[in-house]
Chains A and B, each alone.
Chain A
Amino acid sequence: MESDALFLSRLQFAFTVSFHIVLPSFTIGLASYLAVLEGLWLWRRDEVYLRLFKYWLKIFALSFGMGVVSGIVLSYQFGTNWGPFSDMVGPVLGPLMGYEVLSAFFLEAGFLGVMLFGLNRVGKRLHFSATLMVAVGTLFSAFWILSANSWMHTPAGYGFENDQFVPKDWWSIIFNPSFPYRLVHMVLAAYLTTAFVVGGVGAYHLLKDRGNAAAQVMFSMAMWMAALVAPLQILAGDLHGLNTLEHQPAKVAAMEGHWQTRRGAPLVLFAIPDMQAEENHLELAIPKLGSMILTHAWDGEVQGLKAWPPDERPNATLIFWTFRVMVAIGVLMVLVGLASLWLRFRRALYERPWFLRAVLLFSPAGFVAVLAGWITTEVGRQPWLVYGLLRISNGVSPVDTPVVAVSLLGFVVVYCLVFGAGIYYLLKLMQRLPAVVEEGLASGEITRAAGITPLASLTPDSGGKSR
């Protein structure tokens, strides 16, 4: 039985990291999208790209700010709540996070100011370089943090001396077995998440005005992403799953709802896995398909959760379902992409209200899929902090229960208030039509103001007009 303080610390970490992760998922994709938009503007000299750039830039600024402040919390929470863990893994994971700060965070933050407010001060080319730097920074950041995270799943290249994990081979540590798969899967997820937000916003405006040029461009770009990247993501997810099967078979058993180890395992479509009774309730399954998917052979052997002692099993009740939510959204994204190809072929991409409504409805789907996927992989790692080597219960700080309870309450209240307001402002920004936005900025009329009243000058209704 775990102590209350441990449970609360886990809850606090889950809460703060879940709030945080949706923001970088969005800004990684958005930073790349902004770089593409600005590049297209410089290349084709079509003002519509600049207008779209400005439009999404405001949304980026807001999301990025929230991502930064929620990220700082995480960089300190390892020490405050997971002290013994930090002490033990610091020599291995610390430098990876150090590299993240040095190569990514500074790059993003350093060029963000120029990207947001500097277009008229530094000129187009330098400004484009700044945008590229920010985009590259977000990808570097994903690289290092996912490397560190992956190491906790598939530790490699380490030794154990004086109560600490110590580095033996940095190459093996950084490129640990699950890292390449996780990186590709996550970056594609970030791109898809952003694509569906962009597509949803485009759809929203097209529903009001079919002929809106800017809305058409963003919708079309987003649908290309859906059509091309969503199938790739299914492939990447499958490979990632096979990698997990190799290194963390207990996680896969929980995801699949398998209790018995057997050949020709079924694919469980619906079930309520019961951790106490060690069985599934209300199971609906397709015979043999599970083995086919996991081992690519009809009678391949698949391990069940009973192959592990009860205190080494991840919670199947939870991740059986989070996994299915993620996969279902992924498959629906592929269908949206295919439908878009068909409509595009029929030259009716912007014309079908049912399709526009479907895409609008789907705009937050990426976030749900990202959260579901992360819950699957992280809960699937339990009860280990470092898989197979360090248990959660041995990594928690000796903090008293009331102290963690108060801090958790503080995080819940502050995050709900602050990020609730943030989401509201983001929606307000997205609600605005891109066509009427900032014609002034393109002509350079607000040159000085860009540095003076940064966010105000980026706000279209800033000229004294009230909303």
Chain B
Amino acid sequence: MSIDLPLVWAALLAFAVLMYVVMDGFDLGIGILFPFIKQEHDRDVMVNTIAPVWDGNETWLILGGAGLFAVFPLAYSVVLTALYAPLIAMLLALVFRGVAFEFRFRDPAHKHWWDVAFMGGSSLAAFCQGIVLGAYLQGIRMAGRSYAGGWFDWLTPFSVFTGLAVLAGYALLGAGWLVMKTEGELQARIYQLMLPLAAAVLGAIGIVSLWTPLLNEAIAERWFSWPNIVLLSPMPLLVATAAFALYRAIVKRLEVQPFVLSLLLFLLSFVGLAVSLYPNAIPPDISIWEAAAPDASLGFLLVGALVLLPIILAYTAYSYWVFRGKVRATDHYH
């Protein structure tokens, strides 16, 4: 009995994407929240909460890209070509936002300008990632082994909505992170933002959950056929429970729980998406087995992944541990 390597890799890549979404999610969220926090000093604190870790967070995006290239080259080829415009826009936004990080401290005279680049880059990157998600869920037209659709196939009401949903979701994660890492007035201000953000995210989860099955019959079938409908019924219940717990945590001004529960909401949404998509590598027709590279490729990289991923997780955790605790407002730069 041999191992189903494409399936193992689909799970590993899903894990990489999830890691990316939650980790870069909260640090993109900080840029998205910038317009709501006007004080320069507060903004410095916000950026400083992620300064030591954002590089590592973004590396998961590269793993997603390189992993897809290695494991499902057909999907890498077709999906990236199909989503050309939103992906290029996302990359340019990430360039802006990545350097704005460093430049805003380097150049006090133009700090405001780099702040705009930081919030614009973070927001555009998040929005584009949401569009990519929506466009991917909609499905991609192919002929042979190539993309066969038009250059604006990705642009639909659904993909714009998922773009906004991801924007709100990252903002919520960012807010949860900041509540955990800050204190005083800044923290109080973030708490105020969290309830409306949480409401928006829940609304978005609900709407996407209802809208996705309408996109194609296979997804509707997956969720609503017997016995799936029973097996999957805990999903919405879990979302509702997490949402309620999040509401209580925010109202009670708990510090760690809002972040953890926001992560839980993301995890549940992610599982929901996986249920809808499985076993597609390129929706709606190409399965992970059809898109997979030969076992010789998958096996070779799997050995490395199984050895290295636990080590990566360990030193990532170590790095977070080193920089644990509140980021205080003891400023040396005023």
List the interface of chain A (C-beta within 8 A of B).
61-62, 64-66, 68-73, 75-76, 78-81, 83-84, 86-95, 97-103, 105-114, 116-118, 121-122, 161, 163-164, 166-168, 170, 397-400, 403, 407, 410-411, 414-415, 418, 421-422, 425, 428, 446, 448-449, 451-457, 459, 462-464, 466
Contacts and interface: CB of A to CB of B under 8 A. Distances in A.
B146 A84 contact: yes
Contacts of A64: 55
Given A72-B61, A87-B73, A453-B48, A422 B332 contact: no
Contacts of A122: 322
A250 B65 CA distance: 34
B43 to A, nearest CB: 12
Given A118-B52, A464-B333, A95 B300 contact: yes
Given A68-B55, A69-B94, A449-B330, A80 B80 contact: yes
Given A76-B87, A451-B52, A90 B73 contact: yes
Secondary structure of the A contact surface, majority rule = helix
Given A69-B98, A112-B56, 4 more contacts: A80-B80, A83-B80, A91-B293, A170-B300
A79 B308 contact: no
Contact of A455 (B70, B72, B105, B147): B105
Interface in B39-91: 44-45, 48, 51-53, 55-56, 58-59, 61-63, 65-74, 76-81, 83-85, 87-89, 91
B59 A109 contact: yes
10 contacts: A65-B55, A71-B62, A76-B91, A79-B76, A97-B66, A103-B304, A109-B58, A110-B312, A111-B315, A462-B332
B304 A99 contact: yes
Interface size class of B (residues with CB under 8 A): 35 or more
Given A83-B77, A87-B74, A464-B333, A70 B48 contact: no
A407 B151 CA distance: 13
A435 B300 CA distance: 50
Contact of A163 (B78, B145, B308): B145
A122 to B, nearest CB: 6
B293 A94 contact: yes
A69 to B, nearest CB: 4
B294 A452 contact: no
B95 interface: yes
Nearest to A64: B55
**Chain A CB within 10 A, most for which of B71, B102, B145, B147:** B102
A459 B106 contact: yes
B66 A101 contact: yes
Contacts of A116: 52
Nearest to A87: B77
Given A61-B102, A99-B304, A459-B105, A75 B66 contact: yes
Given A106-B312, A161-B294, A407-B84, A414 B69 contact: no
Contacts, number: 287
Contacts of B11: none
B124 to A, nearest CB: 12
B103 interface: yes
B328 interface: yes
Interface string B92-124: 101110110111011110000000000000000
A150 B19 CA distance: 31
A70 B95 contact: yes
Contact of A69 (B99, B106, B151): B99
A107 to B, nearest CB: 8
A86 B331 CA distance: 49
Nearest to A144: B66
* Closest A-B pairs by Cβ, 6 of them: A90-B73, A94-B70, A79-B80, A113-B52, A455-B105, A69-B98
A400 B151 contact: yes
Given A65-B99, A79-B77, A399-B81, A92 B105 contact: no
Nearest to B108: A466
**Chain B CB within 10 A, most for which of A108, A121, A161, A454:** A454
Nearest to B91: A73
Contacts of B151: 399-400, 403
A410 B92 contact: yes
B81 A113 contact: no
Contacts of B327: 451-452
Contact of A83 (B67, B91, B146, B309): B146
A410 B85 CA distance: 11
Nearest to B292: A91
A121 B62 contact: no
